Structure 1
Amino acid sequence: MLLRILHRTEYDYQGSVDMAQHMAHLRPVDTPSQRVLAHELRITPEPAARSDTTDVFGNQRSFFSLQSIHSTLTVEADSLVQTQAPQPLPEGAPWHGMSWERVREHFRYRAQAPFDAASEFLFASPHVARDDRFAAFARPAFASDRPALVAARALMERIHTEMTYESESTEVSTPALQALEQGKGVCQDFAHIMLGCLRTLGLPARYVSGYLLTRPPPGKPRLIGADASHAWVSVYVPAPADADAAVDGDDGTATSGGAWFDFDPTNNRCGWGSPGEDYVTLAIGRDFADVSPMRGVIQSGAGHKLSVAVTVAPPDELDLLQAGAGT
């Protein structure tokens, strides 16, 4: 599937800003399930300095600074991405039947255990604590000897069924435990809750930010800027040989052959590589704090009004929409 994503962020300051520095995670990443064909980041006013780098998680990020007085800031990311449907997991795949307890034991600390890079996604992070309340919520999905991927899917389904999606019921900084206790939130909260459950049980899981192609209501046209960013979760399962090496206390020569599997508790969809070909992965991290689309510091005493508009559509359809809107 060929998708074009327009992500426009506007800051309207209630006064003048003297200087500013910003970091943006707005370029999708290349993965086995998607390929970035084109990307442009347009910034107004023109920044005095800009650099593009890769962060520790492999995400593409842009740093820019503004050193002249300005009262507005507009950042528009324009990306063209080719996606593909997630590969079905064959019944005989090495990860298919591995129990969640076996995955947990693979990551339990022991002297001279082989290193697995997924270990960094086991720990608490700014928005996601490790807490027994997460374990209690997740426990019905994690019966003894249940395959890890089956248990993760059951947890995803429980969050989807028992949590209520409600816009503006939380804020960007709302802790995952608070969202769990109030029983409602948005996609970011659902992803954080699932992360908290998995990590508290000893399973590595990471936050995925991105986009989802949405369908307008029947009879209604697609509107420019009416979409939004999305978030879901990836769960890691090591290959059986690696798990055995860790449990048996090998000499440390084992190499990781595991895989990440995506679960979207907001929409109850999952897949190997992505939840579907209508998803676009933007960035991965421990939680939202690692992959915020825009963050920065300004030298000013003024407040601001923020507006964000996202459009995800096939390129031909988006061209027609823009032509009709006169943009």
Structure 2
Amino acid sequence: MRLAITHETRYRYSPSVQIAQHVAHLQPANTPCQTVLSHWLQIEPEAEVRHHIDAFFNHRAYWALTKPHDGLMVRAHSELDTAVIESGTSSQSWESVREHFRYRGGRPGDVQSGFAFGSHHAPVHEAFLAYAQRSFTPGRPLMHAAQELTARMHRDFRYETASTDINTPALQALHDKRGVCQDFAHILLACLRSLGLPARYVSGYLLTQPPPGQARLVGSDASHAWASVYLPELASHACQGWLDLDPTNNRTGLASPGEDYVRLAVGRDFADVSPLRGVLQGGGSHTLAVAVTVTPLDA
């Protein structure tokens, strides 16, 4: 599937910002399930943008604005080909994966070990462990248990726009059984890590379908988030060991939940892959408007 994505962010400041530095994760990477055909980034006020690869192999852009400005516009546009990779399965039990990542002196570590620890937005806690254990029964294959946990979250939780924000703790969202995709990804991460399993946060986009008889609206889509769990048994598979899990839509798949998904960046949680963040000197209040458009080009 060929997709075009435009992600536009606009800030208005009052009073003006004097100096600012910004970091963005807005360029998709080439993965086993997607090939980036083109990408460009437009910024107003104009700035010199520098690019590099971060610790999680994401594309990161950064720039500085050294003159007073009362607004900021960042527009990222990407075109990609997406696909699903060959099927695969794993019978590896979740306990054996947990033991694989348990620290033992003198034994070589696994490069994915960092994803087994709690993080700010996805902490290890007994409440997450209790919720997850119903799916993770003794001896059960990790792949099957993770897929069932994803489906159970989809049944148990209610998607409710504006019911949470980035400062809402995952424990509160777990208790309330409501939130948005970001909350569900953090809860799933916390459940997996509380079991001692490595899991990572995935930011990206999902092609949505307009209601029957209605046209696709420009700017009406949104960023999406999901999680993935690591299966050492599949490290040499095309998925590189990662099983993607989207509890918002109850979709799972190796390396991607489907060809209608685009992966933007991966990290320990949202804090590692925020699409846009900055440090400002001056300013006061601000308004924010975000518009995302995902368009199929081969329809």
Measured against the shorter chain, the TM-score band is over 0.9
Contact 2:235 2:241 in 1 (8 A): no
Please state whether the residue corresponding to 2:164 is helix, strand or coil: coil
Residues 189 and 227 in structure 2, CA contact (< 8 A), matched pair in contact too:
yes
SS for the counterpart of 2:87 is coil
Alpha-carbon contact 1:228-1:311 (below 8 Å) kept: yes
Which amino acid is the alignment partner of residue 276 of structure 2? M
Residue in structure 2 matching 1:131, options 125, 131, 152: 125
Q: Is the 2:14–2:283 Cα contact (8 Å) retained in structure 1? A: no
Pairing of 1:138-153 with structure 2 (within 5 A): 138-153=132-147
Give structure 1 stretches of 5+ with no counterpart.
Answer: 243-256, 318-327
AA aligned to 1:2 is R
Shift of 1:9: 0.2
- SS of the residue aligned with 2:168? coil
| Rounded Cα–Cα distance in structure 2 between residues aligned with 1:314 and 1:156 | 27
Q: Which residue of 2 aligns with 1:58?
A: 57
Structure 1 or 2, whichever has the larger Rg, is: 1
> Alignment partner for residue 268 of structure 1, among 222, 227, 250?
250
Matched, 1:303 2:266: no
Find 2:260's aligned residue among 245, 256, 278: 278
Separation in 2, partners of 1:129, 1:199: 8
Contact kept, 8 Å, 1:87 with 1:273, in 2: the verdict is no
Query: CA offset at residue 316 of structure 1?
Result: 6.7
Shift of 1:239: 2.1
Query: Counterparts of 1:268 and 1:236 in 2: how far apart (Å)?
Result: 18
Alpha-carbon deviation of 1:68?
1.0
Q: Which amino acid aligns with 1:175?
A: P
**1:258, distance to aligned residue in structure 2 (A):** 6.0
Give the direction of change, closer, same or farther, for the CA distance of 1:240–1:43 in structure 2 (3 Å limit): closer
Per the normalisation by structure 2, the TM-score is 0.96
Aligned counterparts, 1:284-323, within 5 A: 284-315=266-297
Contact preservation (8 Å) 2:2, 2:79? yes
The residue type equivalent to 2:17 in the other structure is V
Question: Following the alignment from structure 1 to structure 2, what is the Cα–Cα distance between the partners of residues 60 and 222?
Answer: 29
Cα distance in 1 for partners of 2:81, 2:165 equals 32
* Alignment size in residue pairs: 297
Deviation by residue 1:236-280 (Cα, 9 ceiling, x = unmatched)? 0112899xxxxxxxxxxxxxx961110100000010110000000
The structure with more helix, counted as a fraction of residues: 1
Compute the RMSD of aligned alpha carbons: 1.6
* Matching residue within 92, 97, 102 for 1:98: 92
**What's 2:176 paired with?**
182
Contact kept in structure 2, 1:239 and 1:258, CA below 8 Å: no
Secondary structure, in 3 states, of the residue corresponding to 1:117?
coil
- The yes-or-no answer on 1:206 pairing with 2:200 is yes
Kept after mapping to 2: 8 A contact 1:86/1:275:
no
- SS of 1:239's partner is helix
**Aligned AA for 2:213?**
G
Q: How does 1:1-327 map to 2 (within 5 A)?
A: 1-47=1-47, 49-89=48-88, 93=89, 96-239=90-233, 259-315=241-297
Shift in CA distance, 118/310, structure 1 to aligned 2, threshold 3 Å = same
